[in-house]
Amino acid sequence: MTKRSLWIPIMLAAGVGVVLAAAVSTDYDHSVDFAGYHTYSWLKIQAPDSIWEDRIRHAVDSELSSNGFTMQPADGKASVAAFGSTHTQPRMETFYTGFGGGWRWRGFGDGFATTTVEKTPVGTLVLDIFDSTSKKLIWRGTASDVLSDKPEKNEKKMEKALTEMFKHFPPPPKS
């Protein structure tokens, strides 16, 4: 086996991993010193159902707790809101029959092409943190593609996306 043929499976596996990963981005108010925030309260969680609301709350509470924040039922220095949405995205799959890959492919065979439309769930999670006093948005995290076509993987994908989202939280003070 040549070196080149060894790299092909490795590159394909890496490409699949990139495609399956959630797209995560964060932004924050660069004038805010996050060192002054140690408590938070929930404003609202909006998700497709109460099961996902509980999952989001638990995962966010865990991430904020690991970053030194304490949840208070009311009057936290920061206020947190989460919005999760799902929709289906069509994906076309084509199957070719016959010799040569399909109907008159390169002039060979009498096969046919059959195209079906698969509906793939796509999810987005937006997490906002506000200053409770001024009600000003101070931090936003967004994760898209947090759902897969396998429900048993969805919770792990969301947790992984939130871990990535909070990787550099709280933002460092501006020097």
175 residues of the chain, pLDDT tens digit each:
554 444 444 443 444 333 345 689 999 999 999 999 999 999 999 988 888 899 899 999 999 999 999 999 999 999 999 998 765 556 565 555 555 544 444 555 555 556 666 554 457 889 999 999 999 999 999 998 776 556 678 888 889 999 999 999 999 877 6
**For residue 49, what are its two tokens?**
């159902």
Structural domain contains residue 174: no
Structural domain contains residue 15: no
What local confidence, expressed as pLDDT, does residue 124 receive? Answer: 83
**For residue 133, what are its two tokens?**
């006093």
Q: Read off φ and ψ for residue 83, nearest 5 degrees.
A: -130, 120
Secondary structure element (H or E) that encloses residue 123, with its range? strand 113-131
Structural domain contains residue 18: no
CATH number at residue 32: 3.30.160.670
Distance of CA 164 to the CA centre of its chain: 9
* Residues linked to residue 125 through DSSP beta bridges, in sequence order: 84, 143
What local confidence, expressed as pLDDT, does residue 38 receive? Answer: 96
- Count Cβ atoms below 10 Å from residue 1 Cβ, excluding itself: 5
Structural domain contains residue 95: yes
Tell me which residue has tokens 């409770």: 132
Query: Based on the structure, what is the number of domains in the chain?
Result: 1
**Who's near 57: CB < 8 A, 6+ residues apart?**
42, 45, 82
The range of the structural domain enclosing residue 134 comes to: 23-165
Structural domain contains residue 8: no
What local confidence, expressed as pLDDT, does residue 173 receive? Answer: 78
What local confidence, expressed as pLDDT, does residue 158 receive? Answer: 87
Structural domain contains residue 1: no
